[in-house]
């Protein structure tokens, strides 16, 4: 983070505050305050997520239930009479999801 602060400060001072030390110090204080608040906010977010996980809060999207037609289409796919793309299309899912479900089932 320190590298970002110095970079921003140097860019601003080179562009606007070449001759004024007061303006330079004012901007430096502003930048330090900004980055400090940003770090504090990030730390609070991380701590909140950790607390939520300890309480058992689930994050992310819920897993989709496999349709009852899946087993039949999986067998057809394994026999070679149906492509994975067509099987996925019939189920209304992506080909990647179909192949992942097949892999999960073993």
DSSP 94: -
Q: Could you please report the per-residue DSSP string of 9-52?
A: HHHHHHHH-SS-HHHHHHHHHHHHHHHHHHHHHHHHHHHHHHHH
Q: Which pLDDT value is given to residue 50?
A: 95
pLDDT tier, 17 (very low <50, low <70, confident <90, very high otherwise): low
Q: Which residue has the higher pLDDT, 105 or 16?
A: 105
pTM over 0.75: no
Q: Which pLDDT value is given to residue 18?
A: 65
């Amino acid at each position: 983070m320190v590298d970002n602060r110095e970079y921003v400060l140097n860019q601003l001072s080179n562009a606007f505050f070449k001759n004024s030390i007061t303006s330079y110090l004012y901007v430096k204080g502003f930048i330090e305050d900004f980055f400090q608040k940003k770090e504090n906010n990030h730390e609070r977010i991380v701590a909140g997520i950790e607390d939520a996980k300890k309480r058992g809060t689930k994050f992310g999207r819920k897993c989709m239930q496999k349709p009852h037609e899946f087993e039949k289409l999986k067998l057809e796919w394994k026999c070679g009479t149906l492509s994975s793309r067509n099987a996925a299309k019939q189920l209304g899912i992506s080909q990647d999801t179909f192949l992942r479900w097949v892999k999960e089932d073993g």
